[in-house]
Amino acid sequence: MRILLKHVIDCDADAAWRALHSPAAVAELYGPLLTMRPLAPTPLPTRWEPGTDAAVQLEVAGLPAGRQFLHLSDRTATERDGRVRILRDSGIPLTGPLAALDVWDHQMAVSPAPGDPARTLWRERLVIGGAAAPVLWPGLWALWQWRAARIRGLAPSWAYDPPEPDAG
């Protein structure tokens, strides 16, 4: 089963790509509904690097909602309109209701919006599978609609101008 999102957001593709690699920015997408904290005694990194593996605890209103293993990878594709950068989480839910799934494949793609390179075309695909997928799909679909609204609302805050080196 699949959940697909596609929308244009108000930041450039570089800012969206940085946000996808920021645990803090990703956590904001679910807030305040869902929180994510590391299971390891060390905090989450400032930036997800390709090949990152992490186990996190998900909480809803402060109550445990399950643990998730994240495995992140990056790739680039070339489409008719140019370069597309894709972040893939091919981890798996470990505990909680989502652990009943056999398949979890979440891909997020960003590219300059056609005709407006100052904005980003954001695409997402979540593929889930297993006997529990038909039961869990409606709740995940609703959560992904929440994510889409949060992405659109937060995207303008992702843009920033890096500090210029001191010409000194």
| pLDDT tens for each residue of 95-106 | 999 999 999 999
Q: Could you say which residues of the chain have pLDDT below 70?
A: 161-168
161 secondary structure, DSSP code: P
| pTM of model > 0.75 | yes
pLDDT at 167: 53
pLDDT at 90: 92
pLDDT at 124: 96
Strands (DSSP E) along 39-166, which ranges?
53-60, 63-79, 82-89, 92-93, 103-113, 116-129
Q: For the chain, which domains are there?
A: 2-158 (3.30.530.20)
